[in-house]
Copies of this chain bind each other. A is one copy, B any other.
Amino acid sequence: MSVIGKPFPIRDAREKALGTAEYTTDLKMPGMLYGKVLRSPIHHGRVLSIDTSRAEALPGVRAVITGRDIKPIIYGFGWRHRKDKYALAIDKVRYKGDEIAAVAAVDEDTAEEALDLIKVELEELPAVFDADAALVPGAPLVHDDAPGNIVKAYDIHKGDVDRAFADAFKVYEHRFATQRVHQSYLEPYGCVVHWDPFGKVTAWIGSMNNSGIRLMLADALDLPVTKVRVIQPWVGGSFGSKVTLCNIYPIAAYLSKKAGSKPVRIIYTREEEFYASRPRVSCVIHVKTGVTRDGCLLARQVRLINDAGAYSEMAPAMLEVMCHRSDSVYRIPNVRIDAKLVYTNKSSIGAYRGYGNPQMTFAYESQFDVIADDLGIDPAEFRLKNATRPGDVTTHGWQITSCGLPDAIETVRDRSKWAEKRGKGRDVARGVGMACTIHEGDDRHYLGFTGSNASVEIHEDGRVVVISGEGEYGQGFQTIAAQIAAEVLGVPLESVDVTFPDTDRTPYALGPWGSRLTISGGNAVRMAAEDARKQLFEVAAEKLEARAEDLESSEGRIFVKGSIERSIAVAEAASAALYRWGGKLILGRGTEEPNTTCMDPDAQSNPCSAYSFAAQVAEVEVDRKTGQVKLLGLYTSNDGGNILNTTLAEGQVVGCALQGIGYACTENMMFIDGAQPNPSFLQSGVPNALDVPPIDVHFTDTDDPYGPFGAKGLSELGAPPVAAAVANAIYDAVGVRLTNLPLAPEKVVRVLRQKSTATKGDGQS
């Protein structure tokens, strides 16, 4: 391998460092207007009247729109999701922040001023903010057509859980609760949308799902899909959030149309990010687990309640994933899951790196240590004993091919000096804790196309252009795609360019969610490059008077195997292919479609082409007085298959782990009677560079049969185990068990006090 597996720097670093990268907020267009959104000041209410006349009369205002100006189309993420949202409130507002009206003006100040001039009359309705409360009969209904406030419910039963509990040596039952957290990307939601005089809508959106956003925007505007074009500028992070349609996209489109076809830019403020975007869902998770005397898992029953907020967005799919994923880290024959997604009068939720996994892993892996402790088994041994292994078919039907989990557990155990540090902490208030996780590589939710398409062109000077609709938003796809194409074609990495997504130009692609990008996008690039190589070698064979199958290429030259003096430059062959009689550009196409299955009536499926694994050990020191938990180190071992670029892979693990640390220890989007007291980076507990402990990153030696060059997804492995690993380490250090996230100092202090006053047993909070 000449470029695969090497530590090449990420491609977009130079533009970002030089400041030449143009994000949505940098876009300027002739005649462009600035849009602002008027949001609901109350949590739940009926819209009685809206008077925009004073706003319209303000000099500089070019358009004002309300629910009357839009087509009454209820849109949503589609597929198994529930469509429940208008672009602007028509009848009701359902959370404090719901969109009521919008203004486009010649500058932002004028637009802001105009918002104050819009008079809205609302009839306030009772609101509900808590998922448990929303399930109580007689609770206020967020959507009249969703009785009991239930968005979606699953009841999945595998094996015979009741019998297994009866047979079990011991059964454990715990309740865990997790909080909302924001993805904390640096670039807020934003768009520039131009509804041109000929009916075509062009939208510059820093999304991570360009083709999907196009479909949803066309849906919301009631336009044929090719009347909508989505162009991806540079993107300042998303981490799962920007995968669905944000209301400002159709709002900007309607404003653009009403303002006489001027482009309209709307950029979220940081406060809007906290009031009206899509943070990670908060959950209440009841886990009941039965084991044999020698520590084998027999059965698990889970009751899960997720708080969707006012609109369902991607939450239903996430619920499905949460029902399945974590049951495959270990061998467990009987499982039952009763899961409910519930509407409340809060803003919606969305995907965030891990997609339900951090919540479930926190619950399962915390309980795992309680069980190990109770059974007197070392938690590492307990995990190794039950760990899923290559060739397993899990309870839900997942076919595990490559699996580095046992290796990962042993690695973090050894590298963290587990045996030395474990169980000795209670005197010095130091401890170590372990947790593991499984993650998807792609995830099939429906039978249609969930693969990826790519084209690879070889131009006349040997330059290779990779065309994929899969977007770059900082995660490194352009670098990886270039490496794959360079490796297949035998050309230097510098000679490969990767284009930016533009739905009018680049092929249909699902986008980088579900850790699918390297596997699915990368395989499509690999296949397209192989197709291009075939065409290239045919021309080269003619020139070299050899057979195409006898050729190979390296460092930009094609030569006859075994006789290196018979060679031709890639550039020369590509040039000959184009400029010869009847010539055409070398253009390879690749279509990847994983041979996976989606949930059948028995809730069985094999949704992923590859499964990734990770194990982590956290080492902590707890200040018994203040409850402060200091993370001394995080040891990670990650099975991401064969690693295509060690620099990028390490960056993914470290970045993701840091988000896991924030989730575990400090971050919390608080709600008090629906109100948000801490809507900012400063107040919400986002960790900064000083909060990063030494992070030890290890990759297992795994080679996956499906992914390109043996790779699997790894960008979501860093976060899920952190919270449980830290909670387990706290237990190891000071002997208390925390079951509510974040693992904040006041909670530590509280359980330590409870413990010191209790007659026996560990405190819980």
Task: Report the nearest B residue to A30, measured CB to CB.
Answer: B28
Please state if B584 and A453 are interface contacts (CB–CB under 8 Å). yes
Q: Does A14 contact B (CB under 8 A)?
A: yes
Q: Kindly state whether residue A224 has any CB partner on chain B within 8 Å.
A: yes
Q: Which residues on B sit within 8 Å (CB–CB) of A463?
A: 224-227
B-chain residues with CB within 8 Å of residue A591 when the two chains form the complex: 582-584
A497 touches B14 (CB 8 A): no
Flag whether A579 is at the interface (Cβ < 8 A): yes
Interface residue A18 (Cβ < 8 Å from any Cβ of B): yes
Tell me the complex Cα distance, A578–B20, Å.
Answer: 36
Tell me, in angstroms, the Cα distance from A591 to B465 when the chains sit together. 20
A252 CB to nearest B CB, Å:
19
Count of A residues near B, CB < 8 Å?
44
Contact B508 A505 (CB under 8 A): no
Instruction: Tell me the nearest residue of chain B to A27, going by C-beta.
Output: B30
Q: Digit string of A106-141 for contact with B (CB within 8 Å is 1, else 0)?
A: 000000000000000000000000000000000000
In-complex Cβ contact of A593 among B453, B583, B587 (8 A): B583
List residues of chain B with CB within 8 A of the CB of A583.
Answer: 448-449, 451, 591, 593
Cβ of A557 to closest chain B Cβ, rounded Å: 16
Task: Kindly state whether residue A346 has any CB partner on chain B within 8 Å.
Answer: no
Nearest B residue (CB) for A26: B30
Residues of B within 8 A of A459 (CB): 225-226
| A538 CB–B CB distance under 8 Å | no
Chain B nearest CB from A229 CB (Å) reads 10
Task: Determine how close the nearest CB of chain B comes to the CB of A493; give it in whole angstroms.
Answer: 14
Whether A162 is near chain B, meaning CB under 8 Å from some CB there, is: no
Chain B CB within 8 A of A696 CB: no
Interface pair B589/A584, CB less than 8 Å apart = yes
> How far in angstroms is the closest Cβ of chain B from A494?
11
Query: Which A residues, 567 to 624, have Cβ-Cβ distances below 8 Å to chain B?
Result: 578-585, 587, 589, 591, 593
Q: Hey, which chain B residues are within 8 Å of A504, CB to CB?
A: 465, 499
Residues on B with beta carbons closer than 8 Å to the beta carbon of A453: 584-585
Bound: A224/B505 CA distance, A: 24
How far, in Å, is A542 (CB) from chain B's closest CB? Answer: 15
Q: Are A585 and B18 in contact (CB under 8 A)?
A: no
Complex Cα–Cα for A465 and B225 (A): 13
User: How many Å from the CB of A380 to the closest CB on chain B?
Assistant: 42
Shortest distance from the beta carbon of A735 to any chain B beta carbon, whole Å: 54
A461 contacts the other chain (Cβ, under 8 Å)? yes
> Which residues of A line the B interface, CB within 8 A?
14-15, 18, 20, 26, 28, 30, 196-198, 224-227, 261, 447-449, 451, 453, 459-463, 465, 497, 499, 504-505, 507-508, 578-585, 587, 589, 591, 593
A-B contact pairs, 19 of them (CB 8 A): A14-B197, A18-B197, A26-B30, A225-B461, A226-B459, A226-B463, A226-B465, A448-B579, A448-B583, A449-B581, A449-B582, A449-B583, A507-B584, A508-B578, A508-B585, A581-B593, A582-B591, A583-B591, A584-B589
